[in-house]
Structure 1
Amino acid sequence: MQLQVMNSPFTGEQIELLNRLLPTLSDNQKVWLSGYIAAGSITSNNQISTAIQATIQSDETDVTSDQLTTREITILYATDTGNSQALAEEFGQKLESQSFKVTVRMMDDFKPKQLKNVQDLFIVTSTHGDGDPPDNALSFYEFICSNKAPKLEDVRFSVLALGDSSYEYFCQTGKQFDERLAELGAERLHPRVDCDLDYEELAEGWFDAILSKVTEKSTVNNQRPSTSSNKEMDGDQPSHSKKHPFRAKILENLVLNGRGSNKETRHIELDIEGSNLTFEPGDSLGIIPENDPDLVMNIIEETGWNPDESVPVSKSGDVLSLREALTTTFEITTLTIPLLEKAAELSTNETLKQMVLTQNKENLLAYMNGRDLLDLIRDFGPWKVTAVDFIKILRKIPARLYSIASSSKANPDEVHLTIGTVRYQTHSRDRVGVCSGQFAERLEPGDYVPIYVQKNNNFRLPSNPETPIIMVGAGTGVATYRAFLEECEEQASTCKTWLFFGEQHFLTDFLYQVEWNKWLKEGVLSKMDVAFSRDHEEKVYVQNRMLEKKKELYQWLEQGANLYVCGDEKNMAKDVQKVLLSIIETEGNKTAQEAEAYLSEMRKNKRYQRDVY
């Protein structure tokens, strides 16, 4: 029975100490303590408290090592862009700073059979394409969903899922991991959290909740973690990040396509001198874009709001004018199902309410396709709400990530990008990409843009500089390969290199043609095969060129070559993988299942890497 103030002669402080002490005492300790008190050695309340506290401390030295052991924490992440990795590593650092034993691993680097030995498991994962796991999660995902997965009754877990609510299968991979772990008997320590593109605040809340739970458990086990200040960790972080971007000066903003091209691809050079930003070939550059000011004013005029009205833009109370907020802070070019649901609550329009109420995903997705906030406001007005209330339903404008197209060794204090301008017309209006449109229409050399480096350890040159590399890319997907070859040139690498490049027209769309030819002449680039799809009656793509060279390509793979794919995921990357499997099957004299296993092994060994979007 627990002692209480009302059923004993002790003070509240003494009750707390006694209730901590008594359950831990052995029979001999209880006898000794009762005799000690009976002997009259203690005469005051303060002495009683002091004696009990001393006994607790003495007893704690006798607690078995099992009682003192904190549960080990395993954090697994799966990522396409690096966001999940950054969050997992940040969370791991926070736990380590408080004396927890933590293991942080990419899913492909974690042996699935060790899952049965895990104690506390926290998963941070993005979702790839149409609800699929990221490439670096496939092996773990297949294992955990198979009959080989062990029962996990002794495992506690929680999942942080990253996604984009404008897609139909929002956070699908995180949902599947969460459901499967529960099916295997694991205890859900904290509910799954699904994050949209502006994930920072939700992720931080998940971190705090998990930290509170594991700290509470450790305190119960008599091992209170240290409370080192997070400021110490902050000092180890890069000086510039997504939260604190560096304002980089634009040095060059050039169109790479020739006259008459259907495309507008820009080569951007930025000055990063003094930023302390570091990057490797394969990393991406994050850019914090601004919305088109004309679109912003059209929205304000349509609603009749005051552009100079102050509106809140953060939970900490920061305010901006409505015009500034819609330009710099909130997303206005993409519709999502959560946005439509929130908008329906503010609207008096029955059509919108009914569309949301029926929860017909096909109808919702069909409406959202190609429409923006201005369309929503026009289609379902009038809106009898204030700007302050409406702003609350908008999500933050997401950063845009672009593969870095340069080597820091070749271009110190600079970073280069290859950006394809997005232009299209839908629903009787011309549209332009947020960031690509900003570079195409409103940014010139001498202007500044906020940037940060996004690490991508899943798309790296081989550690052995003699390993052959095969690079497959279309359009702006060759940006990373320009960085690869600049790096190889600077390192005087002797490895064999083979580039497959695809675009529409040879005369107008052969991006970086002069540089490729120079590297071919110098031997930095060993081979190059190109596919210009619109120059022939029958369209030719990079995968067709791969098939034409299938025998030699397979020989390179057998010799240990790394193969990289960069570009559009829905079309090019899927078609390339299909052809690659076909080549492995035919040239390697394998069954379809054996070809799949061959490619899976390449992926596990970091020999097959993709950077797709």
Structure 2
Amino acid sequence: MLALSHLPESKHVLLRQLAEDLDTQSLNWLSGYFAGLASQGPAGAPAQKIAALAATPAVVPRPLTILYGSQTGNAKRVAEALFEQVRAAGLNARLVRADRYTTRELKDEQLLYIVISTQGDGEPPDDSIGFVEFLGSRRAPKLPSLSYAVLGLGDSSYPSFCGIARHLDERLAELGATRVHEVGQADLDIETVAKPWTQKALEQAQAVLKQADNPPSASVTPLHPKASRYSREAPFQAELLLNQPITAPESDKDIRHLEISLEGSQLAYQPGDALGVWPVQSHALVSEVLQLLGLDGEEIVQAADVQRPLKEWLGEHRELTQLTRPFLQAHAELSQSEELTALLQPEQAEAFRELVSTHQLADVLRKHPAAWTAEALVKALRPLAPRLYSIASSQSSVDEEVHLTVANVDYDFNGLARSGAASGYLSRLAEGERVRIFIEENTRFRLPPDSSRDVIMIGPGTGVAPFRAFVQERAANGANGRNWLFFGNPHFDSDFLYQTEWQAALRDGHLHRLDLAFSRDQEQKIYVQDRLLERAADLYAWIQGGAHIYVCGDANRMAKDVHQALQRIARQEGGLDPAQAKHWLEELAAQGRYARDVY
């Protein structure tokens, strides 16, 4: 209790009555109110004003909570933009990452906006697993006083497009909450849906919170403006300095090490961040699409108040290598293909998944011909989206450069050459050419602030990229914690990425342990998760001693197998039962000691 001896005795009771049962936010508001009265003159507030306040305490409504769940940073970026708009409108709001949200507060929320991505085929982002599980459990409270809206980010090439957002939207309604805005489902061209959704959400917030009565509030998540003027919407035209294969010619994979100049950009990044790349489609693929449809690439097409030649739309502004359900539905109707129509039925999810994973636009046009006009085609295709690559360098080591490790997706389909939009583009780039880039922060995939902590890095294939950055950073800063890397690929002789660098790091004491899993070098396949189990005792000792664990790479198989292996190690070495092992790993994630960058 604060001392009140400097006030007249007659005021003590009034102040205690006024402060009784008020929450922190209301007390803060009162603090500002009294400060304002004090600024009006030495007389302060008349006793009758205090008495009136004591009789009818000011009620400050709970702020709008904007909760986000993000794997690659897109949902975070959208949520931050919404928060800035809400704050600029003078509304009381806070911004919270899902794994930092205290779930017991949910029953007291007045207005909740959720911006969340869906990973792969219906998985929540890592930072939202706990929140999603809580909301779906019997522990979730009834929410009759809550108004809410959900914005989902996803990829319509997956059957469960924005599945997590739809699940949360339906679950909140089941718990008695009131939906103030229909669930938004944004594809890779995020702004097409996100921009009108956030505008409507802002209007709804103003109506629900009664803007004029609410004092503005600061965010619980500080936002730090970037020094550079370059961004996703305004990328930097960077020079490619080096494009070098790092797999042997006999390898089944074409993996490249790229070095890109940041000179003049003022772009800064940290180990764990990603580089956004705006690709350009191959001329051969654009020509193939035009030929199949009998369209003129020079024809001027207008879309969204912009006019461009058709070949420019297709080459720089539309997806040609990834199919989406909306386009396939439109194409099935136009082509009157019964086969394609059947594949789009809900019970054919597996067949749909197979189609979009093997076919590109040209393959569908060839198999199911249809008479598209240039304008209709441009409007039906999904806008081209940038690709994100884990950065493979530390700026402390390479200064005004950024390095990437890129697997070129290059294959034949029915005798025709096919490649990934971005990986093919980057692989074709010659040194000295320019590429449009931006930095995408990944604050959940950071080295521990305490440099004495040990780190365990699990990154097969190109998943090793951020760990090259980690080791460089730790070496440059003289970190005294130990570094342990698990790396795997098919063959030692042809696929050991950055072999000489790891050997040098071991020699110089910057890498303390290296475990390798070359799956095809022996009859029985060996993967990184197998090596984890072989080193179970040491691994568990490191973790119990405070080590941080990082996983990067394939989300569909490797990351799940590694997750299961870690739980098995906890059961084996720690004597935990399955439920305890699961909770142990969840606790590590909540502490920021188990982080994944999976895709």
Give TM-score scaled by structure 1 length. Answer: 0.84
Q: Does 1:377 align with 2:365?
A: yes
Alignment of 1:472-551 (within 5 A): 472-551=458-537
Q: Which runs of 5+ in 1 are unaligned?
A: 1-60, 227-232
Shift of 1:382: 4.2
Shift of 1:347: 3.5
Q: Indicate the residue corresponding to 2:571 in structure 1.
A: 585
Partner secondary structure for residue 141 of structure 2: coil
Moved more, 74-83 or 385-394: 385-394
Q: Does 1:438 align with 2:425?
A: yes
Cα gap change, 1:367/1:513 in structure 2, threshold over 3 Å: closer, same or farther?
closer
Q: Does 1:558 align with 2:549?
A: no
Alpha carbons 1:218, 1:225 under 8 Å: kept: no
CA-to-partner distance for each residue in 1:295-334, whole Å, 9 max, x for gaps?
A: 1111111211111001124x2x111111111000000112
Alpha carbons 1:473, 1:502 under 8 Å: kept: yes
CA-to-partner distance for each residue in 1:3-31, whole Å, 9 max, x for gaps?
A: xxxxxxxxxxxxxxxxxxxxxxxxxxxxx
Letter in 2 for 1:239: R
Q: Does 1:208 align with 2:199?
A: yes
1:106 & 1:456 partners in 2: Cα distance?
A: 13
1:362 & 1:494 partners in 2: Cα distance?
A: 49
Letter in 1 for 2:413: T
Q: Indicate the residue corresponding to 1:171 in structure 2.
A: 162
Q: Does 1:604 align with 2:590?
A: yes
Alpha carbons 2:458, 2:528 under 8 Å: kept: yes
CA-to-partner distance for each residue in 1:544-594, whole Å, 9 max, x for gaps?
A: 111111111110011011011111111211111111111110100111111
2:519 & 2:244 partners in 1: Cα distance?
A: 24
Shift of 1:223: 3.2
Alpha carbons 1:133, 1:141 under 8 Å: kept: yes
Partner secondary structure for residue 151 of structure 2: strand
Shift of 1:87: 0.9
Letter in 2 for 1:451: I
Q: Does 1:416 align with 2:403?
A: yes
Q: Indicate the residue corresponding to 2:327 in structure 1.
A: 339
Partner secondary structure for residue 335 of structure 1: coil
Q: Indicate the residue corresponding to 1:229 in structure 2.
A: none
Give the number of the structure whose alpha-carbon radius of gyration is greater.
Answer: 1
Q: Indicate the residue corresponding to 1:326 in structure 2.
A: 314
CA-to-partner distance for each residue in 1:73-111, whole Å, 9 max, x for gaps?
A: 111111110111111111111111222222111111111
Partner secondary structure for residue 535 of structure 1: coil
Letter in 1 for 2:147: R
CA-to-partner distance for each residue in 1:39-78, whole Å, 9 max, x for gaps?
A: xxxxxxxxxxxxxxxxxxxxxx99x988884551111111
> Which residue of 260, 266, 282 maps to 1:270?
260
Partner secondary structure for residue 96 of structure 1: helix
Alpha carbons 1:160, 1:206 under 8 Å: kept: yes
Cα gap change, 1:569/1:144 in structure 2, threshold over 3 Å: closer, same or farther?
same
Moved more, 574-583 or 279-288: 574-583
Alpha carbons 2:489, 2:519 under 8 Å: kept: yes
Q: Indicate the residue corresponding to 1:88 in structure 2.
A: 79
> Which residue of 454, 468, 493 maps to 2:454?
468
Q: Does 1:252 align with 2:239?
A: no
Moved more, 485-494 or 346-355: 346-355
Alpha carbons 1:68, 1:223 under 8 Å: kept: no
Q: Does 1:138 align with 2:124?
A: no
> Which residue of 254, 267, 291 maps to 1:301?
291
2:351 & 2:527 partners in 1: Cα distance?
A: 34
Alpha carbons 2:61, 2:214 under 8 Å: kept: no
Shift of 1:426: 2.8
Q: Indicate the residue corresponding to 1:32 in structure 2.
A: none
Q: Indicate the residue corresponding to 1:77 in structure 2.
A: 68
2:113 & 2:228 partners in 1: Cα distance?
A: 25
Moved more, 237-246 or 293-302: 237-246
Q: Indicate the residue corresponding to 2:27 in structure 1.
A: none
Shift of 1:224: 8.0
Partner secondary structure for residue 211 of structure 1: helix
Q: Indicate the residue corresponding to 1:104 in structure 2.
A: 95
CA-to-partner distance for each residue in 1:256-287, whole Å, 9 max, x for gaps?
A: 11231111110000001111211110000010
Cα gap change, 1:336/1:112 in structure 2, threshold over 3 Å: closer, same or farther?
same
1:444 & 1:185 partners in 2: Cα distance?
A: 58
Give aligned-pair identity as a percent: 39
> Which residue of 187, 192, 198 maps to 2:178?
187
Aligned length: 541
1:146 & 1:348 partners in 2: Cα distance?
A: 44
Moved more, 95-104 or 282-291: 95-104
Q: Indicate the residue corresponding to 1:402 in structure 2.
A: 389
Letter in 2 for 1:278: A
CA-to-partner distance for each residue in 1:194-250, whole Å, 9 max, x for gaps?
A: 11111112111111001111223444x743889xxxxxx998785111111001100
Q: Does 1:149 align with 2:135?
A: no
Cα gap change, 1:443/1:280 in structure 2, threshold over 3 Å: closer, same or farther?
same
Partner secondary structure for residue 424 of structure 2: helix
Q: Indicate the residue corresponding to 2:30 in structure 1.
A: none
1:148 & 1:70 partners in 2: Cα distance?
A: 25
RMSD, matched Cα: 2.2
1:237 & 1:597 partners in 2: Cα distance?
A: 40
1:357 & 1:459 partners in 2: Cα distance?
A: 38
Shift of 1:512: 0.8
Q: Does 1:125 align with 2:125?
A: no
Alpha carbons 2:228, 2:265 under 8 Å: kept: no
Shift of 1:337: 1.6
Letter in 1 for 2:467: Y
Cα gap change, 1:371/1:118 in structure 2, threshold over 3 Å: closer, same or farther?
same
Moved more, 442-451 or 418-427: 418-427
Alpha carbons 2:243, 2:256 under 8 Å: kept: yes
Alpha carbons 1:67, 1:222 under 8 Å: kept: no
Q: Indicate the residue corresponding to 2:12 in structure 1.
A: none
CA-to-partner distance for each residue in 1:88-146, whole Å, 9 max, x for gaps?
A: 11111111122222211111111111111221111011112331211111111111111
Moved more, 157-166 or 361-370: 361-370
Partner secondary structure for residue 452 of structure 1: strand
Give TM-score scaled by structure 2 length. Answer: 0.86
2:375 & 2:409 partners in 1: Cα distance?
A: 31
Shift of 1:543: 1.4
Q: Does 1:594 align with 2:585?
A: no
Alpha carbons 1:215, 1:225 under 8 Å: kept: no
> Which residue of 189, 206, 215 maps to 1:198?
189
